[in-house]
Structure 1
Amino acid sequence: MFAGISVLSGDPLYEVAARYVADLRPQRIDLGVGVYRDGSGRAPVMKAVKRAERCLVDRQETKAYRPLLGDPAFLRTMNDLVLGADCPALAEHRIVAIQTVGGTGALRLAAALAGSASTEPRIHLGAPTWPSHAGVFAAESVVAVEHAYWERGANAPLVDQILIAARNSSPNDLFLFHGPCHNPTGVDLSMAERREALAILQRTGAVPMLDIAYYGLGSGIDDDLEIARDMVARSQRAMIALSCSKAFGLYRERVGALFVLCADAGEAVRVRDKLGRLSRLMVSTPPAHGAEAVAMILDNPDLTQAWRDELAGMRDRIIRLRARLAASGLSVLASLGDERGIFAMLPLNPAQVHRLMLDHAIHLPASGRANLVGMRDDDIPHFLAALEAVGCR
């Protein structure tokens, strides 16, 4: 049965993580997998999450299955957080929300929905993008159509190329937008640029899709989520794939949601039934623990404020780190202060990346994509010296 399975290359990010773990040098730095770390290098459980989990342990009376669409309190509180309690589409019953196994699960479910609704489903992806985007959609036979989003040396998105791609979209295509803090570049579209692209998609009939994971780490939770609210307000149909991994620090709990904006309430009923059936075949029902913790945080004003405050502290660390690197005097880092989020595409070639790993214990993918908050505060002088040593100025 398995003799015909071919050898596959490993996942680049997890290969970086494995090399880091095996590196016993005390000065080692992990700039690979996208996990937020504080100034001491820890990836702590957020205090609001800890408090919610203690309450869950004390109050929980069953481990029975949850509904097919997920935890009702989680879906209600996420609707309010992401779309706003006064969202007209919610009042019109045009929004379908389903809990998913992380943001990746939301993307996979969206791909399955697109595949079931179209005979030749396509998704337009800006390059570079999260490495798994194309693969997740390909697994559901959704063809990726790439366009240029960014190129080395540019401090802004390639808006002309993005708008050309939007004009070339067809009815029922998906067109992917990143949320705030673009992965992997840190270079975001402005709201005006997003709106221009959305207006084109409304004319072509393509469906905008938002992949949003880093809300709260860009300009603040409300400003960052305005991207989602604005897209829903300007679209007849849309999809939003959301992750709770970064904003709530629930990486291993696999908490996410998919929101689908439908043309009318009748269409929403059909989409809800379809999503429930698709999810049943994929995962049966989504995991409960992390979703219940999120719902408890968002339903309790004290926990909500504690979460917002801690998230603001994480954002401030990112901003300070970027500013410090941008002011280092190395021209290759000068643009970091103008970008957002934890990621940056450092102008390194594979040979330089290899030398950073071999000679300086700094681990990152060959592409140069760096998770900047993988650095401890005390790592910065070593990091800057290592860049100079491999020829970066």
Structure 2
Amino acid sequence: MANRKVRSIARNKIELAAKKPSATSSSSGLVNQIMPVSMSRVRQDVLTWNTALTMARKAENPRRHLLMNLYDEIFIDGLLRSQISNRFLKSLSSNFIISDKSGKINEEVTNFLQDKIWVNEINKAILGTITHAHSVVELSWIQTQNNQAATEPQLKADLIKRQNIDPKAGLFFADYRDDKSIAYREMKEYGTWILEFGNADDLGLMNCAVPHVLFKRFAQSCWSELCEIVGIPPRVMKTDTQNVSMLRRAESMMKNMGAAAWFIIDDNETFEWAEATKTDGVVYQNLMTFCNNELSMLFNGAVMGQDTKNGSRSKETAMQETLQTLVDSDLSLIEQYWNSTIIPALINIGIISGECVFSYPETEDIAQLWTMTKEAMTDYEMNIEWMNTTFGFQIVKAKQIAAAPATKLSLEDGFFV
């Protein structure tokens, strides 16, 4: 039976390789036409954001490359990246199933897709529509080398840079600084090798995060400048400035004070530390805390983990429930695009065949389910296969409890003595 299944899979791979058209090789396609552009890092401010928004919202010939470049720039913020990862990694790590319309799980197709990198890349692009509002993915075949021998071509999914896409008009720009474009929705590969996700009229959650990241950077810059000025109080030395030798000697002593914090001064000279300002930067800290809280609310629906001063176990539990609601919504979005867009494309390519429905199993509260299971085990026999699958046990069979040997009493034992 196992050999027959292996031969079946091998035969499917051979048939799949025969169906691959040359037009979809990795040497062609929109991704390989993108012109690399050198990016110079400059200070970003609200004016930059407003300019990018104006260009993206133009009624005629809107261009989003400035806004997408700004999104890439603010994404280096540590808290912003962690909040997005905290939400999306839950969806990307969830196991899915492929079944037919009657609900019967197709284990062969499910196992085939579970460990594919391009499946994960497609799901990332779908989740990217939440942050960036729009994604275009191009599928292609790649030929890899293994020990100097060509291996079987593998499917690859590439996200076309959003700077090079105009989703409203459906245009692709090889160089987003140029006006030459390709109408990708009119290409024959559209819908099969070129997949599109998202809303062309939206700008994503990253647009709401831009001002908070910019204001936080401003507060950090001001706070660091305050540390530089106030961290070490200024030193003041009074001397006779008309006397050149005394002035030079005082300058030399002040310059070398960092290495030798002592010196000899004249009776007419004085040295003292100037009194620094009383501020401690709390105004900058409050602004940064406010921006961090807004970013957490934006992507996770609650301030999670950062508020250690006012946090509590009950609040964290409620926040986790709020986050799980958003994750369930993300999983539903992935299911919709797989069933409406991706599965028909994979069937046309020849990756899969037959009736296929993409879905995620319903999430269960394992702790509560285990409590209920333990209570039921006292009165009922449980399904061992179900317990192994649900709780990850390795139960083989029920444990046999040896009966205690019966004690025989007789008159010789001296019972009545």
Same fold (TM over 0.5): no
| TM-score in terms of structure 1 length | 0.23
Rg larger in 1 or in 2? 2
The structure whose RCO (Cα within 8 Å, separation 6+) is larger is 1
